[in-house]
Chain A
Amino acid sequence: MADVNRGNRPLSPHLTIYRPQWTSMSSILVRITGNALIVAALMIVWWFVAAAAGPEAFATANGFVTSWFGDLVMTLSVLGLWYHLLGGLRHLVWDSGRMLDVDKSELAAQMMMVLSVLLTIFTVIVV
């Protein structure tokens, strides 16, 4: 046991040879959306700090956040935020021991994608 080869063992088949699955893709998207939200979050912090600093600073930050680029980041972030929220909800359901079967998990993944788009459209209309 002690002299077993630790550094050069064969690796298990990895991401590149797997066919995309609802379960893996929906899980990876939760991670991507969650971490990508830092961009919008820092823009919002900048917007609040500028508003606290005064009208000139606010004009600069608000101009950037409400520009076409800011709108694009915010709209995509709303989509990412709704998706990540639904992904978190799925994790909480999983943690309670429910919906762990593959077919139910895939159904949840499909619902997350449909609902996040619908909630984003709803948000854009209301806001």
Chain B
Amino acid sequence: MAFLTDRKRATGMGSAKTGTHHHWQMMVTSVALLVLTPLFIFTFGSILGSSYEEVIAYYQRPFPAVVAILTLLVGFFHYRLGVQTLIEDYVHGFARKAAIICMICVSYAAAAFAIFAIIRIAL
């Protein structure tokens, strides 16, 4: 290894290939969330603090339910990408892979629980 030049070490490896896809997904989810988060803040915020019956009745309406489902689905996907960048910057070695896998699982699990719950309330 010590006899290889830097050029020789890099030749044939190609680019990382996936960097722009991460950025593109971040852009798409950002634009979606620009619309979704204000809608969610004001729908969720207006019903938070109400009684159980009022909450159930509210989330049986299509608009608040779909806003909540989309916000949490797209939001957790956006979070899954963002937290990966955070971990890549500050955590190294095996712990990096473990942390990224762990947070991807947490993100999808949280989104799945949220969507299941909202659909169950709505139907």
Kindly specify which of A9-17, A83-91, A107-115 makes contact with the partner chain. A83-91
Contacts of B120 in A (CB 8 A): 52
Contact A2 B4 (CB under 8 A): yes
Residue interface bits B46-69, CB-to-A below 8 A is 1, else 0: 101100100110010000000010
Contact B6 A85 (CB under 8 A): no
- Using a CB-CB cutoff of 8 Å, which residues 3-61 of chain A contact chain B? 3-4, 31, 34-35, 37-38, 41-42, 44-45, 47-49, 51-53, 55, 58-59
| Nearest chain A residue, comparing its CB with the CB of B120 | A52
Interface centre among A42, A44, A53, A92 (most CB of B within 10 A): A44
- 24 of the cross-chain contacts (CB-CB < 8 Å) are A2-B3, A2-B4, A2-B6, A31-B82, A35-B86, A41-B75, A41-B76, A44-B114, A45-B110, A45-B117, A48-B72, A48-B113, A49-B113, A49-B116, A51-B52, A51-B55, A51-B59, A51-B117, A52-B118, A65-B48, A74-B48, A85-B38, A89-B34, A92-B27
